Structure 1
Amino acid sequence: MAEQKQNQTEEAKGKKKWLKWVLILTIPLIIISGAVGFYFSTMMNGADDGTIPMKNVQTLTIQSFTINLADAGHRRYLRTQITLEYADRKLLNELELKDHRLKDTVINILRSKRVADLDSNEKTEALRQELIGAINELLNDGEIIGLYFEEFIIQ
Protein backbone atom coordinates (compact mmCIF):
# COMPACT_ATOMS: atom_id res chain seq x y z
CA MET A 1 0.00 0.00 0.00
CA ALA A 2 2.79 2.40 0.91
CA GLU A 3 4.57 1.44 -2.29
CA GLN A 4 1.46 2.18 -4.36
CA LYS A 5 1.06 5.56 -2.63
CA GLN A 6 4.72 6.36 -3.32
CA ASN A 7 4.25 5.47 -7.04
CA GLN A 8 1.21 7.76 -7.23
CA THR A 9 3.20 10.58 -5.57
CA GLU A 10 6.08 10.11 -8.04
CA GLU A 11 3.61 10.09 -10.95
CA ALA A 12 2.03 13.30 -9.63
CA LYS A 13 5.47 14.90 -9.31
CA GLY A 14 6.34 13.79 -12.86
CA LYS A 15 3.10 15.28 -14.20
CA LYS A 16 3.75 18.54 -12.33
CA LYS A 17 7.28 18.76 -13.79
CA TRP A 18 5.91 18.08 -17.27
CA LEU A 19 3.17 20.70 -16.79
CA LYS A 20 5.74 23.16 -15.46
CA TRP A 21 7.88 22.76 -18.62
CA VAL A 22 4.87 23.05 -20.90
CA LEU A 23 3.89 26.32 -19.21
CA ILE A 24 7.47 27.64 -19.30
CA LEU A 25 7.64 27.04 -23.04
CA THR A 26 4.05 27.93 -23.98
CA ILE A 27 3.59 31.26 -22.20
CA PRO A 28 6.50 33.02 -23.97
CA LEU A 29 5.27 31.66 -27.31
CA ILE A 30 1.81 33.09 -26.66
CA ILE A 31 3.28 36.46 -25.72
CA ILE A 32 5.56 36.54 -28.77
CA SER A 33 2.79 35.51 -31.16
CA GLY A 34 0.51 38.19 -29.70
CA ALA A 35 3.20 40.84 -30.15
CA VAL A 36 3.87 39.74 -33.74
CA GLY A 37 0.15 39.76 -34.51
CA PHE A 38 -0.24 43.25 -33.07
CA TYR A 39 2.76 44.51 -35.03
CA PHE A 40 1.46 43.20 -38.34
CA SER A 41 -2.09 44.38 -37.72
CA THR A 42 -0.87 47.94 -37.04
CA MET A 43 1.41 47.86 -40.10
CA MET A 44 -1.48 46.83 -42.34
CA ASN A 45 -4.05 49.24 -40.91
CA GLY A 46 -1.88 52.25 -40.12
CA ALA A 47 -0.50 52.54 -36.64
CA ASP A 48 -1.69 55.05 -34.10
CA ASP A 49 1.66 56.80 -34.41
CA GLY A 50 0.36 59.38 -36.86
CA THR A 51 0.77 57.36 -40.03
CA ILE A 52 -2.13 57.27 -42.43
CA PRO A 53 -3.33 54.01 -44.00
CA MET A 54 -2.68 53.93 -47.74
CA LYS A 55 -6.38 53.45 -48.48
CA ASN A 56 -7.03 56.99 -47.14
CA VAL A 57 -4.29 58.72 -49.17
CA GLN A 58 -5.36 60.89 -52.11
CA THR A 59 -3.04 62.05 -54.88
CA LEU A 60 -2.83 65.00 -57.24
CA THR A 61 -0.33 65.10 -60.10
CA ILE A 62 0.87 68.52 -61.18
CA GLN A 63 1.70 68.98 -64.83
CA SER A 64 5.32 68.74 -65.89
CA PHE A 65 7.61 71.74 -65.26
CA THR A 66 10.63 72.79 -67.33
CA ILE A 67 12.65 75.32 -65.37
CA ASN A 68 15.89 77.23 -65.87
CA LEU A 69 18.28 76.45 -63.05
CA ALA A 70 20.32 79.15 -61.31
CA ASP A 71 23.74 78.03 -62.60
CA ALA A 72 25.62 81.19 -63.60
CA GLY A 73 27.12 81.10 -67.08
CA HIS A 74 25.36 77.86 -68.03
CA ARG A 75 22.02 77.13 -69.58
CA ARG A 76 20.85 74.28 -67.37
CA TYR A 77 17.27 73.02 -67.24
CA LEU A 78 15.27 70.87 -64.89
CA ARG A 79 12.24 69.00 -66.09
CA THR A 80 10.10 67.46 -63.37
CA GLN A 81 6.63 66.19 -62.72
CA ILE A 82 5.36 66.14 -59.14
CA THR A 83 2.64 64.13 -57.43
CA LEU A 84 1.29 65.30 -54.09
CA GLU A 85 -0.22 63.05 -51.43
CA TYR A 86 -2.77 64.22 -48.89
CA ALA A 87 -5.21 62.56 -46.51
CA ASP A 88 -8.18 64.96 -46.36
CA ARG A 89 -10.49 64.70 -49.39
CA LYS A 90 -11.63 68.29 -48.79
CA LEU A 91 -8.11 69.47 -49.59
CA LEU A 92 -8.57 68.69 -53.30
CA ASN A 93 -10.88 71.70 -53.73
CA GLU A 94 -8.36 74.03 -52.14
CA LEU A 95 -5.51 72.57 -54.20
CA GLU A 96 -7.50 73.13 -57.40
CA LEU A 97 -8.43 76.69 -56.40
CA LYS A 98 -4.84 77.54 -55.53
CA ASP A 99 -3.30 75.68 -58.46
CA HIS A 100 -1.70 78.84 -59.87
CA ARG A 101 -0.14 79.74 -56.49
CA LEU A 102 1.07 76.20 -55.97
CA LYS A 103 2.78 76.12 -59.39
CA ASP A 104 4.31 79.56 -58.86
CA THR A 105 5.73 78.47 -55.49
CA VAL A 106 7.22 75.29 -56.97
CA ILE A 107 8.70 77.19 -59.93
CA ASN A 108 10.27 79.87 -57.72
CA ILE A 109 11.87 77.30 -55.45
CA LEU A 110 13.18 75.22 -58.35
CA ARG A 111 14.54 78.27 -60.23
CA SER A 112 16.66 79.16 -57.20
CA LYS A 113 18.49 75.80 -57.36
CA ARG A 114 21.76 74.99 -59.09
CA VAL A 115 22.76 71.57 -60.42
CA ALA A 116 25.03 71.20 -57.37
CA ASP A 117 21.94 71.63 -55.17
CA LEU A 118 20.26 68.60 -56.79
CA ASP A 119 23.08 66.14 -57.48
CA SER A 120 22.49 63.60 -54.69
CA ASN A 121 19.64 61.74 -53.04
CA GLU A 122 20.14 63.70 -49.80
CA LYS A 123 19.86 67.02 -51.64
CA THR A 124 16.79 65.84 -53.54
CA GLU A 125 15.20 64.80 -50.24
CA ALA A 126 15.97 68.24 -48.81
CA LEU A 127 14.29 69.80 -51.87
CA ARG A 128 11.28 67.53 -51.33
CA GLN A 129 10.93 68.71 -47.72
CA GLU A 130 11.37 72.36 -48.76
CA LEU A 131 8.61 72.00 -51.36
CA ILE A 132 6.26 70.27 -48.89
CA GLY A 133 6.81 73.05 -46.35
CA ALA A 134 6.24 75.81 -48.91
CA ILE A 135 3.08 74.18 -50.29
CA ASN A 136 1.69 73.57 -46.81
CA GLU A 137 2.13 77.28 -46.01
CA LEU A 138 -0.32 78.03 -48.83
CA LEU A 139 -3.00 75.66 -47.52
CA ASN A 140 -5.71 76.25 -44.92
CA ASP A 141 -7.84 73.09 -45.10
CA GLY A 142 -5.18 70.44 -44.60
CA GLU A 143 -1.64 69.58 -45.51
CA ILE A 144 0.43 67.67 -47.99
CA ILE A 145 1.87 64.51 -46.43
CA GLY A 146 4.01 63.41 -49.35
CA LEU A 147 5.61 64.76 -52.50
CA TYR A 148 7.03 62.51 -55.20
CA PHE A 149 9.05 63.31 -58.30
CA GLU A 150 7.68 61.22 -61.15
CA GLU A 151 10.12 62.82 -63.56
CA PHE A 152 13.40 64.52 -62.65
CA ILE A 153 15.71 65.32 -65.57
CA ILE A 154 18.55 67.83 -65.51
CA GLN A 155 20.14 68.92 -68.77
Structure 2
Amino acid sequence: MEDGVEKKGKLNFKIVLITLLVLILAGAGAYFGYSKFLKGNDKSPNVAAQNSTSPVQTQQVSNQTGQTAQGGGSSSGYLQQVVSKYTFDLSDFTVNLADEGGKNYLKISVFLGYDDKKLTEELTDKKPMIRDAVIDILRGKKVADIDPKYMDSIKMQIIQKINPMLENGKLNNVYFSDILTQ
Protein backbone atom coordinates (compact mmCIF):
# COMPACT_ATOMS: atom_id res chain seq x y z
CA MET A 1 0.00 0.00 0.00
CA GLU A 2 2.92 2.32 0.62
CA ASP A 3 4.01 1.90 -3.02
CA GLY A 4 0.61 3.16 -4.24
CA VAL A 5 0.72 6.23 -1.98
CA GLU A 6 4.33 6.94 -2.94
CA LYS A 7 3.57 6.62 -6.70
CA LYS A 8 0.50 8.83 -6.32
CA GLY A 9 2.58 11.48 -4.45
CA LYS A 10 5.28 11.42 -7.13
CA LEU A 11 2.62 11.66 -9.86
CA ASN A 12 0.96 14.68 -8.19
CA PHE A 13 4.35 16.36 -7.75
CA LYS A 14 5.17 15.80 -11.43
CA ILE A 15 1.80 17.26 -12.51
CA VAL A 16 2.30 20.33 -10.33
CA LEU A 17 5.86 20.76 -11.61
CA ILE A 18 4.80 20.43 -15.27
CA THR A 19 1.89 22.86 -14.72
CA LEU A 20 4.23 25.44 -13.17
CA LEU A 21 6.71 25.02 -16.02
CA VAL A 22 3.95 25.50 -18.62
CA LEU A 23 2.69 28.64 -16.82
CA ILE A 24 6.19 30.11 -16.63
CA LEU A 25 6.79 29.46 -20.34
CA ALA A 26 3.39 30.94 -21.24
CA GLY A 27 4.13 34.05 -19.15
CA ALA A 28 7.56 34.46 -20.72
CA GLY A 29 6.05 34.07 -24.19
CA ALA A 30 3.33 36.61 -23.45
CA TYR A 31 5.88 39.10 -22.12
CA PHE A 32 8.12 38.63 -25.16
CA GLY A 33 5.19 39.00 -27.54
CA TYR A 34 3.99 42.16 -25.82
CA SER A 35 7.41 43.80 -25.67
CA LYS A 36 8.35 42.84 -29.23
CA PHE A 37 5.10 43.50 -31.10
CA LEU A 38 2.69 45.63 -29.08
CA LYS A 39 4.66 47.88 -26.77
CA GLY A 40 6.16 50.11 -29.49
CA ASN A 41 2.91 50.68 -31.44
CA ASP A 42 2.10 53.90 -29.59
CA LYS A 43 5.37 55.36 -30.95
CA SER A 44 4.38 54.58 -34.52
CA PRO A 45 6.11 56.51 -37.28
CA ASN A 46 2.65 57.46 -38.57
CA VAL A 47 2.82 60.40 -36.28
CA ALA A 48 1.46 63.61 -36.43
CA ALA A 49 -1.04 66.28 -35.92
CA GLN A 50 -1.33 67.04 -32.28
CA ASN A 51 -3.12 69.97 -30.80
CA SER A 52 -2.00 71.78 -27.70
CA THR A 53 -4.03 69.58 -25.38
CA SER A 54 -3.67 66.10 -26.86
CA PRO A 55 -0.15 64.88 -27.66
CA VAL A 56 -1.23 61.44 -28.83
CA GLN A 57 -3.38 61.92 -31.95
CA THR A 58 -1.85 60.40 -35.06
CA GLN A 59 -2.44 60.47 -38.78
CA GLN A 60 -0.61 59.18 -41.81
CA VAL A 61 1.70 61.54 -43.60
CA SER A 62 3.16 61.22 -47.08
CA ASN A 63 6.83 61.79 -47.69
CA GLN A 64 8.25 63.62 -50.70
CA THR A 65 8.03 60.62 -53.03
CA GLY A 66 4.35 60.13 -52.26
CA GLN A 67 4.81 56.94 -50.28
CA THR A 68 2.84 56.75 -47.07
CA ALA A 69 4.80 56.26 -43.89
CA GLN A 70 3.84 52.82 -42.66
CA GLY A 71 3.42 52.03 -38.97
CA GLY A 72 5.54 49.20 -37.77
CA GLY A 73 6.01 49.88 -34.10
CA SER A 74 9.59 50.85 -34.73
CA SER A 75 10.94 52.94 -31.89
CA SER A 76 13.32 54.75 -34.24
CA GLY A 77 10.45 56.49 -36.05
CA TYR A 78 10.02 57.57 -39.64
CA LEU A 79 11.83 60.90 -39.32
CA GLN A 80 14.86 59.33 -37.70
CA GLN A 81 15.26 57.15 -40.80
CA VAL A 82 15.28 60.11 -43.20
CA VAL A 83 18.61 61.86 -43.69
CA SER A 84 18.35 65.11 -45.62
CA LYS A 85 20.96 66.26 -48.16
CA TYR A 86 20.58 69.91 -47.17
CA THR A 87 19.51 71.81 -44.08
CA PHE A 88 18.23 75.34 -43.66
CA ASP A 89 18.87 77.13 -40.37
CA LEU A 90 15.81 78.91 -38.99
CA SER A 91 17.90 80.13 -36.04
CA ASP A 92 16.80 80.11 -32.43
CA PHE A 93 13.23 80.37 -31.22
CA THR A 94 12.23 81.54 -27.77
CA VAL A 95 8.50 81.17 -27.14
CA ASN A 96 6.16 81.14 -24.18
CA LEU A 97 4.52 77.76 -23.72
CA ALA A 98 0.78 77.23 -23.28
CA ASP A 99 0.99 76.14 -19.64
CA GLU A 100 -1.23 77.87 -17.12
CA GLY A 101 0.35 80.97 -15.66
CA GLY A 102 2.46 81.62 -18.75
CA LYS A 103 5.72 81.26 -16.81
CA ASN A 104 7.21 78.48 -18.91
CA TYR A 105 9.15 79.05 -22.08
CA LEU A 106 10.99 77.07 -24.72
CA LYS A 107 14.26 77.96 -26.39
CA ILE A 108 15.09 75.79 -29.38
CA SER A 109 17.17 75.86 -32.57
CA VAL A 110 15.35 74.56 -35.65
CA PHE A 111 16.80 73.30 -38.94
CA LEU A 112 14.68 72.24 -41.92
CA GLY A 113 15.81 69.22 -43.93
CA TYR A 114 15.26 68.77 -47.67
CA ASP A 115 16.85 67.12 -50.72
CA ASP A 116 16.29 69.61 -53.55
CA LYS A 117 18.94 72.35 -53.68
CA LYS A 118 16.62 74.76 -55.53
CA LEU A 119 14.49 74.93 -52.38
CA THR A 120 17.24 76.89 -50.58
CA GLU A 121 16.40 80.18 -52.30
CA GLU A 122 12.67 79.77 -51.65
CA LEU A 123 13.27 79.01 -47.98
CA THR A 124 15.43 82.13 -47.72
CA ASP A 125 12.72 84.27 -49.33
CA LYS A 126 9.95 82.81 -47.16
CA LYS A 127 11.91 82.64 -43.91
CA PRO A 128 9.66 85.14 -42.03
CA MET A 129 6.50 83.19 -42.95
CA ILE A 130 8.14 79.89 -42.06
CA ARG A 131 9.37 81.21 -38.70
CA ASP A 132 5.85 82.47 -37.98
CA ALA A 133 4.41 79.01 -38.72
CA VAL A 134 6.95 77.33 -36.42
CA ILE A 135 6.26 79.87 -33.65
CA ASP A 136 2.53 79.22 -34.00
CA ILE A 137 3.07 75.48 -33.49
CA LEU A 138 5.53 75.81 -30.60
CA ARG A 139 3.43 78.37 -28.69
CA GLY A 140 0.58 75.86 -28.53
CA LYS A 141 2.71 73.32 -26.66
CA LYS A 142 2.98 72.72 -22.95
CA VAL A 143 6.10 71.69 -21.04
CA ALA A 144 4.81 68.08 -20.99
CA ASP A 145 4.65 68.14 -24.82
CA ILE A 146 8.37 68.94 -25.06
CA ASP A 147 9.26 65.35 -24.31
CA PRO A 148 11.43 63.07 -26.47
CA LYS A 149 8.51 60.76 -27.18
CA TYR A 150 6.49 63.63 -28.72
CA MET A 151 9.27 65.35 -30.68
CA ASP A 152 8.61 63.41 -33.90
CA SER A 153 5.00 64.54 -33.71
CA ILE A 154 6.04 68.18 -33.36
CA LYS A 155 8.42 67.78 -36.30
CA MET A 156 5.64 66.32 -38.45
CA GLN A 157 3.36 69.23 -37.54
CA ILE A 158 6.04 71.66 -38.69
CA ILE A 159 6.51 69.77 -41.97
CA GLN A 160 2.77 69.66 -42.58
CA LYS A 161 2.39 73.38 -41.93
CA ILE A 162 5.35 74.49 -44.06
CA ASN A 163 5.15 72.13 -47.08
CA PRO A 164 1.95 73.72 -48.47
CA MET A 165 3.80 77.07 -48.58
CA LEU A 166 6.58 75.68 -50.78
CA GLU A 167 6.58 75.50 -54.58
CA ASN A 168 10.10 74.29 -55.46
CA GLY A 169 10.27 71.17 -53.31
CA LYS A 170 9.21 69.70 -49.99
CA LEU A 171 10.73 69.30 -46.56
CA ASN A 172 11.49 65.75 -45.52
CA ASN A 173 12.72 66.32 -41.98
CA VAL A 174 13.09 68.84 -39.16
CA TYR A 175 16.07 68.84 -36.83
CA PHE A 176 16.15 70.36 -33.34
CA SER A 177 19.17 71.33 -31.30
CA ASP A 178 19.76 73.20 -28.08
CA ILE A 179 16.35 72.46 -26.55
CA LEU A 180 15.75 74.29 -23.29
CA THR A 181 12.51 74.54 -21.32
CA GLN A 182 11.98 76.50 -18.16
Normalised to the residue count of structure 1, the TM-score between the two structures is 0.62
Taking only the aligned residue pairs, the percentage that are identical comes to: 35
Normalised to the residue count of structure 2, the TM-score between the two structures is 0.53
- Tell me, yes or no, if structure 1 residue 59 matches structure 2 residue 87: yes
Q: 2:163 is paired with a residue of what secondary structure?
A: helix
Q: 2:121 is paired with a residue of what secondary structure?
A: helix
Instruction: Output one character per residue of 1:113-149: Cα deviation in whole Å (capped at 9) or x when no partner.
Output: 111222x322111111111111112111111111110
Selected match of 1:96 from 105, 124, 144: 124
Aligned-residue offset at 1:59: 1.2
The residue aligned with 2:64 is: none
Structure 1 stretches of at least 4 aligned residues deviating more than 4 Å after TM superposition: none
User: Gapped runs of 5+ residues in structure 2?
Assistant: 1-66, 68-81
The residue aligned with 1:140 is: 167
For 1:99 and 1:74, how far apart are their aligned partners in 2? 27
Larger Rg: 1
Aligned-residue offset at 1:90: 0.7
Structure with the higher helix share, 1 or 2:
1
CA RMSD of aligned residues (A): 2.2
The alignment of Structure 1 onto Structure 2 pairs a total of residues equal to: 104
For 1:73 and 1:82, how far apart are their aligned partners in 2? 26
- Tell me, yes or no, if structure 1 residue 122 matches structure 2 residue 149: yes
Give the counterpart letter for 1:110 in structure 2: L
